[in-house]
């Protein structure tokens, strides 16, 4: 299945702390967003992506167990780097493994997201590991308040922060013409679901064109953060 990835520094940040990588031949992709406010976010995201994909490439079967172990490998790598540097380091991580029959497996940590575009409708597949999401779940905040909250980017779980980490794991079967989108908060914080959906629809299945349009739209909306996208099509 076709895969593409794109990342951009955005308009306001001095460096890009997002990282993406794909192996189209193996149907693998990874996306990470280094935690803002912590040292070496760019290093954390790059190393998490590299460690996770290296683990998956060595596996004969990229099922849920393999994805969970890949996340642990990324976690161990980031924690080792943090120990070497005497600093706390963290990053979100989204992993994707596809097969030729449309089966898709995902691993998720943090507030980067996975979306499914199917038959003109956009659905979010992942739940943010964030403070505002916890408040929404408890009924202490609604979705509109969460979108405006100054604490909306405070995440509660990340690669590198704890020795033990259990990612959220899920399986989706892609139908013909489905699109799968992985993205950092630099996209979804700038574009609402309707805005994302409009660009997915307009692209007509052209993944590089769609990725470029999404990044450009996030920048046009302010580009307040680094932007990263991965797209897959059945």
* Per-residue model confidence (pLDDT) at position 10: 97
Spans of the chain, pLDDT less than 50: none
For 168-200, give one letter per residue: b (16+ CB within 10 A) or e.
bbeebebeeebbbbbbbbbbbbbbeeebbbebb
Global pTM exceeds 0.85: yes
Q: How far is Cα 46 from Cα 87, in angstroms, rounded to an integer?
A: 17
* Per-residue model confidence (pLDDT) at position 64: 85
* Per-residue model confidence (pLDDT) at position 100: 77
* Per-residue model confidence (pLDDT) at position 71: 98
* Per-residue model confidence (pLDDT) at position 146: 66
* Per-residue model confidence (pLDDT) at position 37: 67
* Per-residue model confidence (pLDDT) at position 101: 83
* Per-residue model confidence (pLDDT) at position 66: 95
């Amino acid at each position: 299945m076709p895969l593409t990835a794109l990342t951009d520094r955005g308009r306001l940040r001095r460096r890009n702390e997002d990282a993406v990588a794909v192996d189209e031949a193996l149907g693998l992709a990874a996306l990470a967003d280094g935690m803002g406010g912590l040292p070496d976010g760019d290093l954390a995201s790059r190393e998490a992506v590299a460690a996770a994909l290296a683990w998956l490439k060595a596996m004969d079967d990229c099922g849920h167990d393999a994805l969970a172990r890949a996340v642990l490998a990324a976690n161990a790598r980031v924690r080792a780097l943090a120990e070497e540097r005497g600093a706390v380091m963290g990053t979100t991580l989204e992993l994707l493994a596809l097969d030729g029959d449309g089966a898709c497996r995902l691993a998720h940590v943090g507030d980067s997201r996975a979306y499914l575009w199917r038959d003109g409708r956009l659905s979010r597949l992942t739940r943010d590991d964030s403070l505002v999401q916890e408040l929404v779940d408890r009924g202490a905040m609604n979705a509109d308040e969460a979108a405006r909250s100054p604490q909306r980017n405070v995440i509660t779980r990340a690669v590198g922060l704890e020795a033990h980490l259990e990612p959220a794991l899920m399986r989706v079967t892609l139908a013909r013409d489905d699109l799968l989108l992985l993205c950092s908060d630099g996209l979804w914080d700038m574009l609402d679901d309707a805005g994302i959906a409009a660009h997915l629809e307009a692209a007509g299945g052209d993944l590089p064109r769609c990725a470029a349009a999404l990044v450009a739209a996030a920048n046009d909306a302010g580009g307040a953060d680094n932007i990263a996208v991965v797209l897959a099509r059945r």
